[in-house]
Amino acid sequence: MTALLVAAARAIESHRHDTLVRDVYAEHFVRAASASAGWPVRIQEVADGDANPLWGRFARYFGLRTRVLDDFLLRSVHTSSARQVVLLGAGLDSRAFRLDWPPGCVVFEIDRKGVLAFKHEVLDGLSATPKAVRVTIPIDLRADWAAALADAGFDTTAPSVWLAEGLLFYLPAVAETHLIDMVDRLSTAGSALAFEVKLEKDLLEYRDSPLYTSTAQQIGIDLLDLFNREPRPDSAGDLAGKGWSTSVHVPFDFTRRHGRGPLPEQNDALEGNRWVFANKP
Ligand SMILES: C[S@@+](CC[C@H](N)C(=O)[O-])C[C@H]1O[C@@H](n2cnc3c(N)ncnc32)[C@H](O)[C@@H]1O
């Protein structure tokens, strides 16, 4: 359901005249699942339009995040010899089909079986062709995904680019620490990683925020119920301790850079969100 939520946001973003990202597949995912078939895929389909906290501001947040991480991935592969890209919790991310990858690039997509099966069905129906070699790995990230990745052809002796977009806050703290540690172990010099974290001390402080209440009321997704509420590890700090260079950004930095996207507001459920970029020298 959360993957469909992001897909709907990308569909809405794609149809904006000032779009930050064009994902032609997103609306097909939304339409194909019975749970989301009635959701909007254009802002014009939303009665209160941009004033709607879910389909206005939150969807724009996902549009901005997609664009910033598109840029990160493309920059990482085009400025290095890394030709392996791993999307952790890939969901309905269509980057293997959308982005201009350099020759020889392999995109590994890890997510749970049901999500990848649904994705496969929709993309097959569209006769979509990936722009890189695409390898899907249906596994739960709480299981031994590193072994599954190696079995799927990932080369631990070559540099790699990793992405955990909209993922870590769903995982138990120990699974996040394990995942970051594993990415470090599987990454040679020249590798890069981007991920998103939420740093709020108490997520429930924002339980009445327009973003959480509108998502629950309009589409029945209670994000606070899905997010893991254990104290979060300091993954950026852990990577720095392992010798990675890291930079931590608030998403609003990119709103200002692109001239569109969400800005801070009162009682803001996005207040603790950080986008972390890390490079292994
Ligand atoms: C909010 S969606 C984000 C998907 C995608 N990264 C994007 O931004 O469009 C979260 C994704 O994480 C996946 N996920 C959550 N917990 C997982 C787990 N334990 N193992 C594998 N995938 C998981 C979900 O199935 C879902 O596709």
User: Angle, to 10 degrees, between the axis of helix 59-78 and the axis of helix 2-14?
Assistant: 90
- For residue 49, the 8-state DSSP code is G
182-201 pLDDT tens trace: 999 999 999 999 999 999 98
The residue whose CB lies within 8 Å of the most ligand 1 atoms, and thus the one to mutate among 27, 29, 58, 111, is 111
Q: Is 63 in the pocket of ligand 1 (CB under 6 A)?
A: no
Q: Stretch 254-277: mean pLDDT, rounded?
A: 97
Spatial separation of the C-alpha atoms in residues 48 and 95, rounded to whole Å: 30
Reported confidence tier of residue 58, pLDDT bands at 50, 70, 90: very high
83-133 pLDDT tens trace: 999 999 999 999 999 999 999 999 999 999 999 999 999 999 999 999 999
Report pTM.
0.98
Reported confidence tier of residue 80, pLDDT bands at 50, 70, 90: very high
Q: Is 93 in the pocket of ligand 1 (CB under 6 A)?
A: yes
Q: Is 89 in the pocket of ligand 1 (CB under 6 A)?
A: yes
Q: Distance from the CA of 72 to the center of ligand 1, in angstroms?
A: 19
Query: What are the chain's domains?
Result: 2-279 (3.40.50.150)
Closest residue to atom 4 of ligand 1, CA basis: 91
The residue whose CB lies within 8 Å of the most ligand 1 atoms, and thus the one to mutate among 170, 222, 225, is 170
Q: Stretch 236-250: mean pLDDT, rounded?
A: 98
pLDDT of residue 10: 98
Q: Distance from the CA of 3 to the center of ligand 1, in angstroms?
A: 6
Mean of all residue pLDDT scores within the chain: 97
State whether the Cα torsion 129-131-137-138 is positive or negative: negative
Ligand 1 atom, smallest distance to 140 CA? 20
Q: What is the token pair recorded at 205? A: 């402080």
pLDDT of residue 130: 98
Reported confidence tier of residue 55, pLDDT bands at 50, 70, 90: very high
Reported confidence tier of residue 227, pLDDT bands at 50, 70, 90: very high
Q: Is 167 in the pocket of ligand 1 (CB under 6 A)?
A: yes
DSSP-derived 3-state class of residue 22: coil
- For residue 187, the 8-state DSSP code is P
Q: What percent of the chain has pLDDT over 70?
A: 100
pLDDT of residue 52: 98
pLDDT of residue 279: 98
Cβ atoms of residues 158 and 248 within 8 Å? no
Q: Stretch 205-232: mean pLDDT, rounded?
A: 97
Non-local CB neighbours of 124 within 8 Å, separated by 6+ positions? none
pLDDT of residue 114: 97
Q: Is 91 in the pocket of ligand 1 (CB under 6 A)?
A: yes
Kind of pairing, strands 106-111 and 133-138? parallel
pLDDT of residue 240: 98
144-175 pLDDT tens trace: 999 999 999 999 999 999 999 999 999 999 99
Q: What is the token pair recorded at 40? A: 């909007």
Spatial separation of the C-alpha atoms in residues 15 and 22, rounded to whole Å: 8
Cβ atoms of residues 40 and 125 within 8 Å? no
pLDDT of residue 91: 98
pLDDT of residue 73: 98
- At residue 126's C-alpha, the angle toward residues 124 and 128, to 5°, is 75
Q: What is the token pair recorded at 253? A: 């930095």
Reported confidence tier of residue 48, pLDDT bands at 50, 70, 90: very high
